[in-house]
Structure 1
Amino acid sequence: MRILIYFMMVVSVLAGACSKDKGNYDYTKINKISIDNMLLGDHNSQRIYRVVNGDPLNFTPVITGTVSGSDTTNLRFAWVIEKDTIARTKELHTIANMGFGKLVGYYFVKDLTTNTVYTYNFTLEISNAASRGTYILAEDADHNAILYMHSALSVNNLFRPYSAFNDKAIGKYPVDLGLKINYGNSSTNYTYTVMTAARESDANVMEVFVNEMKPILFYNKSSFIEPSASFNITQYVRLVSATHNYILVDGKAHLMNKGAIGSVLYPGDPQNYDFGAQGLFTSRSLYSRLLAGWDYRNNKVRILMTANQAASDSYITSAEGPLDQSILAGYTFIKGFETSINGGFCYVFLMKKGDKLASFLITLNGYQSVNSLTKIAEATVPDLDKMIMPYFNFSNNFWYFAIGRSVYRTTVMGMELQKVFTLPEDQSGDIAAFAFNEGGTVSMENIGVCTYDPNSSKAMKGSFYLFNTVSNSFTETHLNVIQKPVAIQMGF
């Protein structure tokens, strides 16, 4: 970038005085300094340098004068962070250890020939190593939960393990992991909060602001608005950019918000729905109005609806009545998502029968009612019984799933399986969990993959790979760095 500071010379003429132009002028050129090779922008919010605490901090500005050129003999420099001068050199090479959070920075260049000071303002955001990166929820041999954080910002490749935050343990028997994006004053200024869920814990669900490694909300049995005998949480559902958290406890759906857990959603259901352990569909836009899930008690899809389709989460009826669900007979439910196809809301879900994988579609009339249920396609999939929980990519409406050491995909409107990749033959075990990176500025470009080999002789039997879908290549491989993976989330 080029930053020039211009000065306006104001000439005062005394009242009653006059002078005759004698044609004597000084044409000496004034040396004006430009500061290049720094971030563009007219405001500090556009000049944010993000760095991890303890990592190297390097600035290499290019200084040019209109008269002096690249000669800096008559220039003096100063780097100031907040109120502390940390260097008096043209370039800055130091360690980012000035604290956490957003710090105001200044780069001063003084021209001794004119006594002019040029200033470049910027924001230095020093964060925890994993304020952006990969988050893996795992368990050790005794089922103690461990959250691994692998930074997308740090120059090192550590997988930092955390079993507690502020002396509050994540717990035992980890269930699921959520991720929430927190935007600042621009689309490039954001942080993440991770949510851990465990069946046995004083904080069954914990929200942690990873930028500063601080727990900010806890949920447990005492968080229920109505008394509950247990907190047998089996599923946690939240989209990165959504505002709602839904959980399944003993097959019933609950809304979590601001430290409280609401009553059973649709408590008056005459069919007494049971969404089982993982039967809740993931909502993208229809949350608070419609809530779908696979009812294991009644062997069908249920679509809970609020009064007058209001965004209230007060479900008083179900909308699936007109659907002919006889086409689902004999199938086993796998996973369901809400999405949009050709501009219309719909639910898509996968089911299996033997070695057959089938895709189904429920179309909706906005928020008002259901339209139809159809089977889109079906295909024979070898080793289907080894499939791990599939992932639905909203950006391209493709299903992704893993079998063994390979990841496959198929469009939501068909069942033509395409192999995305197969992991290298490095004896790291089969895929146990995978996910795309969501949120931020490079959403859905990378797939994080966790594997697990129970027969490994290594202390850490889990490994991690990062696959870039743009270059179609693995960009990271880390063998035997984690315990048994349960869930993964990524936010870059």
Structure 2
Amino acid sequence: MKLKNLYYILVIVLLVFESCSKDLGNYNYQDINAITIGGLLENSHPTGRIYEIPFKDTVRLNPVISGSLSGADTNALTFEWKVDSITVSKTKNLFYVANKRYGRIPAAFSVTDKSTGTVTSYHCFLNVVNPYKWGYYVLTQNKAKDASVYCLSTIAKKQSWEEVLFPQTQTLGRNPISISGTKKYGASASDFYNVITIGVQEAANPVTVIDSREFTPILYYNSSSYVGGGNFTFRPSQVISDHYFEIIYVINNGKFHVLRQGKIALAAFAKDPLDYQVALNGIATPYGNGRLFMSVYDEKNKKVRVWDNGMTGNEFLYVNDYKDIPGQEMMDGKTFLACSYANIPSINQIYLFRKDNQLYSYRLNYGEDYKPVSFDLLGEGPMPTSDPISYVYFDGQTSRWYMAAGKTIYMASYLGVEFQKYVQLPSDAPGNIVKFKILDGKLMVATNDPTANKPGSIYIYNANTMVLEQAHKHVVDEVVDLHLGIPEE
């Protein structure tokens, strides 16, 4: 009986095994049509997929769709674009006018395979910005000396100079002085805006700080901003923004002031017995050390003045005044041209003087106790031209002097001041150079032609190859100063 039962069990097992073997390969497996979305910004996270769009401009995105089974055939697919959670397109391509609001707006693209219901998505941001958020900025004055700012946007599709109108500000005032600025960064090197400082002598607010995202003023400085009270008149002659701190340096009535957080500090050494008067271009811009050291050229007394804060915690509050530093006598009888903090070994400032047709460069040396100890002659050389000098400045990043005269810019190492031709404007360029700036791989040059209705012309070069990329003749009022607020190359 047991053998018989065992026999039946073996038969059943064999039958089951045989049926299972016959079923192999009879199941209906369906391959998935994996969708790939290409032709758009690639990044591992949506915060790295940001499309910059000027307000009222149009964004056009044309993704490339492919399927692992269907290839380029999209007949079995449906599409949907959402911007700010609102469906704006049921087609593959996005055509969107950014006229709703400023700011970073979420966008999503969905591809649905109708045969399986599988959805593949792509997420990004449309960063709707003021068209002047990035660009080339020019501070100008008309014949009545009224100040204006023009911008050539680097994100708008329309490549033309336009006058910037400031919300909440009816007029910038008269007799403009300078425009300068720094960059503020967000999540990446391409996510930035410009903080722009504008100086105007005769204005309700002689110094205004602008946020370029919507070009709205974020700080005003006027006579009531002075912390000392009394009968203070704010009519600056020089305005310079610090490269590293939210600080502005101003010369008012010849005296040096620090502007910070909407307040104008007391003048440095206001009771100086020599009654110093800071010369034009006479602030040695500190490049990060301004909170500790400052140097100016005293035009009235014909000498360099050096100040420090005694290495205390009182940033931008100078307590020591050094005015008789050994080597100062080398500058006697010479005409001051410009000065700057220098990006050369140790803490130092650098100064450029002229006598007749000869140029002289001096360096200020500091001791181990961080006090100024002496001036050295770095180098001397001949004037590169007989034309009048229109602008001189020292570039701390490259440690070079630059000088403009006529239609030519000259360049020299800080060591020898042997100026050589750097760039020559085209022969048909109207007027002479008044200002130029070098930043982020671009050289921007401005000329004024007093015979024209629009005197100002702008030339933009690739500063690495020295190739002229753009020439805009007679496009703005008389140029006073300029600033570059563009992406790095």
TM-score using structure 1 length: 0.90
Residue equivalent to 1:486: 480
In 2: Cα distance, 1:144 partner to 1:367 partner? 48
Matched-pair contact (CA < 8 Å) for 2:242–2:249: no
In 2: Cα distance, 1:244 partner to 1:477 partner? 34
Read off the aligned partner of 2:461 and give its amino acid letter. F
Name which one, 1 or 2, has greater alpha-carbon Rg: 2
| Superposition misfits of 4+ residues, deviation over 4 angstroms | 382-385
Residue equivalent to 1:285: 288
Residue equivalent to 1:375: 377
Q: CA deviation at 1:311?
A: 5.2
Read off the aligned partner of 2:161 and give its amino acid letter. F
Alignment of 1:105-120 (within 5 A): 105-120=107-122
Read off the aligned partner of 1:335 and give its amino acid letter. A
Among 467, 482, 485, which residue is 2:461 paired with? 467
Question: Residues 227-263 of structure 1: CA distance to partner in whole angstroms, max 9, x if unpaired?
Answer: 3432120111124443211100011111111211111
Matched-pair contact (CA < 8 Å) for 2:243–2:288: no
Residue equivalent to 2:155: 153
TM-score using structure 2 length: 0.90
Read off the aligned partner of 1:455 and give its amino acid letter. T
SS at match of 1:45: helix
Q: Which runs of 5+ in 2 are unaligned?
A: 1-19
Residue equivalent to 2:348: 346
In 2: Cα distance, 1:260 partner to 1:414 partner? 41
Residue equivalent to 1:246: 249
Q: CA deviation at 1:290?
A: 0.8
Matched-pair contact (CA < 8 Å) for 2:150–2:164: yes
Deviates more, 1:61-70 or 1:367-376: 367-376
Alignment of 1:298-313 (within 5 A): 298-310=301-313, 312-313=315-316
In 1: Cα distance, 2:188 partner to 2:331 partner? 46
SS at match of 2:47: helix
Residue equivalent to 2:86: 84
> For residues 167 and 396 of structure 1, do their structure 2 counterparts lie closer, same or farther at Cα, with a shift above 3 Å needed?
closer
Residue equivalent to 1:170: 172
Give % identity. Answer: 26
Question: Residues 369-422 of structure 1: CA distance to partner in whole angstroms, max 9, x if unpaired?
Answer: 124311212222154562122232232211112111111111111222221211
Residue equivalent to 1:450: 446
Q: Which runs of 5+ in 1 are unaligned?
A: 1-19, 438-442
Matched-pair contact (CA < 8 Å) for 2:239–2:251: yes
Residue equivalent to 1:260: 263
In 2: Cα distance, 1:98 partner to 1:363 partner? 57
SS at match of 1:341: coil
Read off the aligned partner of 2:448 and give its amino acid letter. Y
Q: CA deviation at 1:164?
A: 4.8
SS at match of 2:381: strand
Q: CA deviation at 1:157?
A: 1.9
Read off the aligned partner of 1:424 and give its amino acid letter. P
Residue equivalent to 2:399: 397
Matched-pair contact (CA < 8 Å) for 2:401–2:417: no
Q: CA deviation at 1:320?
A: 5.1
In 2: Cα distance, 1:190 partner to 1:164 partner? 20
SS at match of 2:290: coil
Q: CA deviation at 1:199?
A: 0.8
> For residues 273 and 73 of structure 1, do their structure 2 counterparts lie closer, same or farther at Cα, with a shift above 3 Å needed?
same
Q: CA deviation at 1:225?
A: 0.7
Residue equivalent to 1:356: 358
SS at match of 2:343: strand
Matched-pair contact (CA < 8 Å) for 2:80–2:91: yes
